[in-house]
Structures are given as C-alpha cells and as structure tokens.
C-alpha cells in the first residue's frame, strides 16, 4: 500500500511540483494525498489543484506566536487525510518540539546547502562568502533544531568564480528537484533506518562517483 504524503508549502511550491510529478509514476511507493499551505496566496496551491491534488489552507497569521494552536489545527487535518509522511517544501513556519517529536522519522525537509554547512537563511550567500568550491542540497529528517536532522540524501554542484547567489541557487534548485523525490521513495519504501543522529540506507553502496572543483588539469 502506498504511503500517504502531505506536502506543506508557503510559496511557489517548486519542490512540491517535483514530488507530485514523481508520485504520478505507477511504481512510486507514495501518493501525494494533500498539499497544505499556511498562506492563501501561495502559488503552489494552484499548481497542486491543476494536478488534481487536494489542497488546504490553514492561515498561520491569525495564530500569531501561538505555534501550538496552529499545529493542533494542522494535526487534525493530517489525521483527517490519514497522512503517513510529511514533506516540507518551502514551508516558512517553525514547529514546536512536541510536533516535531510526534513526526520524528516521518517528516522530511530540503535545504539548499551541503549540511551541516550553511544552515538557516541565505545559504547561497554564505557559501559564496566562505569561498567553497562545491555546494548543493540536502534532504534531512526534521528535528527541533533548524536544518540539523539526520541527513538522508545530498546532491552537489560546482561553484563557479562568477556565481552570484541567484545563479548558484538556480543550479542547486535543479539538484533539489532531482534528490527530493528519490529521498521520498527511499523513506516510503522502508529502506531508511536512523541510528542515533545518522541515517543509513539499506543496501546502499553509493555511486562511486567523485566531484572535484576546480577540475584537475591533468
């Protein structure tokens, strides 16, 4: 039986769209049961509806700083839709520790850096400011600390000397759209186990590929 997934968004929902496309495959082990936004004007809602996915808006602004009250309404919606897994796709609201613990090991997020490097805001600017030669995206399980949960999957790109935060972000976004569906497939297939703070994939030997940047000349 396919795992039922809720995608939580606050904006355009580009990663949401990638997950929806992947889940349309007959052999994909999860189905997108609902897309939930905390903003009624989120562009991703229309995209989801266009794909035939049920949507729901739970405005967070009226709750102010009362995160627990917002989460109580959200939890009721998740239970109503019989949700097994949550994927965050640009969901711009922090959760309480209690909510995160309830969904521990079942809530995924994607961050546009190679965590644990450059968590939080402006990861592309942080990466360029540090002068790194490789950056990328990370899918991780959500814990109370921001961008700090067990790492499930990562993808990398070379950083160019003429990159700006916007050009780097555009290339990393392509990586995000590739790895997030693969990560969800692994979790929904039951191929993931968490040992302490480490996430391991059953039967994974890695690709054996390397990425060196700048490329060696000989």
- Does 217 map to a domain? no
- Does 30 map to a domain? yes
- Does 161 map to a domain? yes
Q: What contacts 151, CB < 8 A, 6 or more positions away?
A: 115, 138, 139, 140, 199
- Does 140 map to a domain? yes
Which one, of 102, 61, 105, lies nearest residue 193 by Cα?
105
Question: What pTM did the predictor assign?
Answer: 0.94
Last residue of one domain, picked from the residues 60, 88, 103: 103
- DSSP assignment of 45-99: HHHHHHTT--EEE--SGGGTT-HHHHHHHHHHHHHHTT--EEEEES---PPPHHH
51 and 139 share one domain = no
Catalytic residues: 111
68 and 96 Cβ atoms separated by less than 8 Å:
yes
- Does 57 map to a domain? yes
Q: What tens digit of pLDDT does each residue of 116-151 get?
A: 999 999 999 999 999 999 999 999 999 999 999 999
Split at pLDDT 50, 70, 90, the class of 76 is very high
- Does 118 map to a domain? yes
Instruction: Domain of residue 202: give its range.
Output: 110-209
């Amino acid at each position: 039986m396919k795992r039922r997934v809720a995608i939580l968004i606050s904006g355009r929902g580009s990663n949401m769209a990638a997950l929806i496309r992947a889940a349309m495959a007959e052999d994909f082990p999860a189905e997108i049961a609902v897309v939930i936004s905390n903003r009624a004007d989120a562009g991703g809602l229309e995209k989801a509806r266009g794909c035939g996915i049920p949507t729901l808006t739970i405005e967070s602004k009226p709750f102010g700083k009362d995160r627990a009250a917002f989460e109580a309404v959200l939890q009721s919606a998740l239970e109503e839709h019989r949700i097994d897994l949550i994927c965050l796709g640009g969901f711009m609201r922090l959760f309480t520790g209690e909510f995160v613990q309830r969904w521990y090991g079942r809530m995924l997020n994607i961050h546009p850096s190679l965590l644990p490097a450059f968590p939080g805001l402006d990861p592309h600017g942080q990466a360029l400011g540090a002068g790194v030669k490789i950056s990328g995206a990370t899918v991780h399980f959500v814990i109370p600390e921001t961008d700090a949960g067990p790492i499930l999957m990562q993808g990398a790109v070379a950083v160019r000397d003429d990159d700006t935060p916007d050009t780097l972000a555009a290339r990393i976004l392509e990586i995000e759209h590739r790895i997030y569906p693969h990560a969800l497939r692994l979790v929904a297939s039951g191929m993931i186990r968490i040992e302490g703070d480490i996430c391991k994939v059953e039967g994974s030997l890695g690709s054996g590929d390397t990425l060196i940047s700048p490329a060696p000349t000989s």
